[in-house]
Amino acid sequence: MSKVPTIGVFDSGFGGLTVLRELRKVLPGANYLYFGDTAHLPYGAKSVRTVAKYAIASAHCLEEHGIDMLVIACNTATALAIDDIRAAVKVPVVGVIEPGAQRAAAISKSRKVAVVATDATVSSHAYRNALQALGLQATEKACPLFVPLVEEGWVEHPVTEQVAHIYMDEIFRDGARDADVLVLGCTHYPLIRPLLRRVVPARVEIVDSAESTAAKVVDILGSVPSPTPGTLKCFATDSVEKFKRLGEKFLGTSLESVELVDIEK
């Protein structure tokens, strides 16, 4: 496309920065606005109505700042509210679930897939439904300990590896013995992908929904001609200091521009 686009990326917290990281790899010339609704996380414990309310308010904030596309980099918001969000905004909306399911369908030979995610995403069965629509059998497993371990920075800690062994042994023993793809259905999980690669069976390919979502955005927008890297500005609904500290772990670089906003005004 000839115009340099501004892509809005929304998450309830920090995990969506892994999606932003992949977007900046494949579309470095685009401008980005990231919104972390950190005052209201975790979304997983909230009702569908509440998740939709907060997500739509956040999307409107990004839209007011002139975005050309909205990426819902939050599995819970995608699972529970993407239709409501699409109806509420005027720009194209991409979620993280469908691209991950499509990538799994493209590479699976056994047509059996394992999905690891948070309790809320697993309870929604959004990945299972998306994969079944593509002709695949899905076994879902909630891995609630991964998020706090990642946020603690324990991405290569022996405790995290032990927890991963327990979760992966359970899913590949009990329900996904013949699965040949593992879908990471939470945006925190890409940070422990190298650890998971050591733990899951060698035959199993790992699909990172952050990568798949970035590829989907490229499919829609095409290349972005720009001689210089695009800009990045972040918004948070709670502590800017905490957002910078944790956000840098997920993005892999320093965060200079973070603005505190209130979506409940």
Tell me the catalytic residues.
74, 186
Task: Encode the chain in three state secondary structure.
Answer: CCCCCEEEEEECCCCCHHHHHHHHHHCCCCEEEEEECCCCCCHHHCCHHHHHHHHHHHHHHHHHCCCCEEEECCHHHHHHHHHHHHHHCCCCEEECHHHHHHHHHHHCCCCEEEEEECHHHHHHCHHHHHHHHCCCEEEEEECCCHHHHHHCCCCCCHHHHHHHHHHHHHHHHHCCCCCCEEEECCCCHHHHHHHHHHHCCCCCEEEEHHHHHHHHHHHHHCCCCCCCCCCEEEEECCCHHHHHHHHHHHHCCCCCCEEECCCCC
